[in-house]
Structure 1
Amino acid sequence: MAHIRTWYLKVLLCVGTFLLFILVWCHVTQLLGEPKGGLGLDLSPLFSGDLVQPSCPEGLVLLILVTSHPAHTEQRKIIRKTWGAQSEMAAYPWQAVFLIGRTLDLELDWHLHKEHVANSDLLMGNYLDTYRNLTLKVMHGLKWAVDRCHPRYILKTDDDCFVNTDRLPTFLARTNRIRQGLYVGSTFSREKRVVIRDPSSKWYVSKQNYDPDTYPPYASGIGYILSLDVAHTVLATAQTTPSIPMEDAYVGILADRAGVKLLSSTRFAKHNLKWSICNYRYLMVIHRVSPAEQELAQGNVQLANTDCTMNKEVKHW
C-alpha cells in the first residue's frame, strides 16, 4: 500500500510540474510573444530581465548594440577578441553590448549568467528570444541606450557582422559632419521593400499590423547608425506606431513618420566579398562574417593602416 502511495505521489508531482511548465510557457508567450498591432509599443515590460544591466561610462562617442541569439556563445567570444576589444588608450571611447532575450533552456540560461559575470556586456530583455521578437530586442536596446548611456551615436548590428571599430568612432567624432538627424546605413531598392503577406514566411506582416504594400526606405539591419536625437525620436514615435517583426523596416517606418531622412551609404556591406586590404579604410560594417573570418578582417584593418597610407581616404558617408 505504501508503495502504491509513493508511486501515486510521484505521478502527481510529475503531472503538476508539467502543468506548471505549460502555464508558465503560456504566460510568457502571452506577455512576451510576437509584436501585435495596436496602439504601439509599451517598452516598460521589457526591462525585467534577470541579469544585471551593463554599465556605461560617461562620454561615449559610440554605443554598438549587437543582436545575438543566447546560444551564440562562440560568436560573442570572437567579437570580444577582435573588433569588440577596445584599447584603454582609445581617443574616442565606445562600447559594445550584446542584446539577448530570455530562453527556456535552463542549462543555457545558467551559461549566460556565467558569461555575463565574466564580461558584463549582455543586456537581457524580458521577451522570448525568437526571430519574430527581433523588434522587441532592438527597441529594448535603443531604450536602454537612450535612458542609461547617452552616447552621441548608436550603431545597431548583428553578431555575424564585422565592425571597423578601428575607424568608426574616430570617423564619427572628427570627420562626420551630420551631428544631428543622422540615420545612415545600406538601403534597399523599392522592389525589395515589398511587404511579405505569406503567413508561412518568417518575414510575414499582416495588413492589420502594416497596411501599405511597400515599406518606406529603410537601412538594412546588418548595421545602421542613429544619432542620439534620432534614437529619442524613433522611440517616441514607437509609442503610437503598431510594431512589425521586421526590426529594420520598423525603424524605417518610425523614421519616415517622424520626418527623419535616411542617408544611404556603401560603407555598410550586406555581403562579405573578397575585399582588398585598402577597402578596410572605407568599410565600417561587413555582413556574413563567420567567427573564423572575424580575426582575418581585424588583421586586414591593421594591414590597411600601414599598407594603404598612399591611398586618399574618403571622408564622406
Structure 2
Amino acid sequence: MGIKETSSVPATVPPTVPPTGIQYHQAYAHNYHFIMDNEEVCKTTKPFLVLMVPVAPHDVAARDAIRQTWGKDSKVQGEVVFTLFMLGYSGRADAGQVQEKVKQENLQHHDLIQSDFMDTYLNLTIKTMVIMEWLATRCPTAAYGMKVDSDMFLNIDNLVIMLQKPGIPKKEYLTGMLMWNAPVLRSKNSKWYVPVEMYPRNTYPTYTLGMGYIFSNDLPGKFVEVSKSIKPFNIEDAYIGMCMEKLGLAPTSPPNPSQFKAYITKYNRCEFSKVITYILGSAEELVKYWTDLKKPGQPC
C-alpha cells in the first residue's frame, strides 16, 4: 500500500528517541500520507526531468524566486521539465495560517506537494524519502529526477544538456557532487550531529551532496523499498548513499565534475554560464543573478 492522498490533519507517527534525546520519526515513506497532491501533472505528459524541491511551508519567497528563474520553463533544450515543491506540515505557532496560505498558493500554481510529517531540519531524510515515494508512484514515466534545495542556483540548460549526452545511463544512475569517506560528526554542537545509536559507522558510504543530485527515475522506488531495511538517520544525502550501498550500487561522477559547485565567493557571469549548481544566500540573489545571466547579447 503506497502513500494515500487525504485531507485529514497530520497523522501522529511514534518517534524514535535514542538515549541521546534526539527525536526522529521513521523515514520509511509509507508511514506518511499526502495531504496535498498534484499527481495529474505526469498523467498527460511524460517528463524528461522532474525537479523536486524540498522547502519549508512558510518559505514562499524561495518558491516564487524559483518560479521566476530555473523553474519557470516547462520546455528546456527541447525536453519537458517539471518543477514541484515538497512540503511537510508546519510546526510554527501560526501553522493554521501558514496552511491556509499554502492551499491558496497551490490553487494558483498547482506545483505543491505536501505530506503529513513535521517539516523540520531533523526530518529532511523523511522529506527526501517522501519525494522518492511521490516520483515512484505518481510519476514513474519520467526519465530522470533531481532533488534540489531551494537555496540553489541551478543552470537548468546545462543540466539537461548533460543528461542528453550519449552514454549517460538511463537506469541505476545517481550523480552530483560526490563525497568520499566523509566522517560522521559526533559533536553535539554540530548541525550535522549523528549519535552512534542512529548510525554506528565512523564514515558514510560514497554519496552525492544534498544541495542537488540527479538520478534515473528507476531508483526512487528502489530507495523506498530498500529503506525498509535501513535504520533511518538525519543526514538525508548520506542516507541515500546508504540506500545505494544496500542496493549494491554506487553514485557516478558527472561528465564534468567542475559543473557541480557548492558555495560561491562572488558572482561571475562567465562562471555561472558554465556551472550546473551553486549554493546561494537568498532568493533575491537567485533572481538577480538569473536576470543578469539571461540578458541577451552579453558575453559568456
Q: Shared fold (TM-score greater than 0.5)?
A: yes
Question: How far 1:199 sits from its partner (Å)?
Answer: 4.0
Which structure 2 residues correspond to residues 55-204 of structure 1 after superposition, within 5 A?
55-57=40-42, 58-87=45-74, 91-104=78-91, 105-150=95-140, 151-174=142-165, 177-190=168-181, 193-204=182-193
Q: Which amino acid aligns with 1:277?
A: R
Q: Which amino acid aligns with 1:177?
A: I
**For residues 218 and 76 of structure 2, what CA distance do their matches in structure 1 show?**
28
**For residues 164 and 289 of structure 1, what CA distance do their matches in structure 2 show?**
16
Q: Which amino acid aligns with 2:12?
A: V
The two structures, once aligned, show a CA RMSD in angstroms of 2.6
Gaps of 5+ in 1: 1-23, 309-317
Aligned to 2:36: 51
If each structure's helix is expressed as a fraction of its own residues, which one has the higher value? 1
Question: How far 1:97 sits from its partner (Å)?
Answer: 0.8
Answer with 254-263 or 114-123: which moved more.
254-263
- TM-score (norm: length of structure 2): 0.83
Say whether the 8 Å CA contact 2:148–2:212 is kept in structure 1: yes
**For residues 97 and 177 of structure 2, what CA distance do their matches in structure 1 show?**
38
- TM-score (norm: length of structure 1): 0.79
Question: How far 1:266 sits from its partner (Å)?
Answer: 2.7
4+ residue stretches of structure 1 with deviation over 6 A?
Answer: none
Q: 1:232 to 1:276 in 2, by over 3 A?
A: same
Say whether the 8 Å CA contact 1:268–1:283 is kept in structure 2: yes
The structure number with the bigger radius of gyration is 1
Q: 1:285 to 1:111 in 2, by over 3 A?
A: same
Question: How far 1:187 sits from its partner (Å)?
Answer: 2.3
Say whether the 8 Å CA contact 1:54–1:121 is kept in structure 2: no
Among all aligned residue pairs of Structure 1 and Structure 2, give the percentage whose two residues are the same amino acid.
25
Q: 2:280 aligns with which of 284, 288, 295?
A: 288
The 3-state SS of whatever aligns with 1:292 is: helix
The 3-state SS of whatever aligns with 1:78 is: helix
Q: 1:122 to 1:305 in 2, by over 3 A?
A: farther
Say whether the 8 Å CA contact 2:210–2:237 is kept in structure 1: yes
The 3-state SS of whatever aligns with 2:275 is: coil
The 3-state SS of whatever aligns with 1:110 is: helix
Aligned to 2:270: 278
Paired residues in the alignment total 277
The 3-state SS of whatever aligns with 2:218 is: helix
Answer with 248-257 or 160-169: which moved more.
160-169
Question: How far 1:178 sits from its partner (Å)?
Answer: 2.5
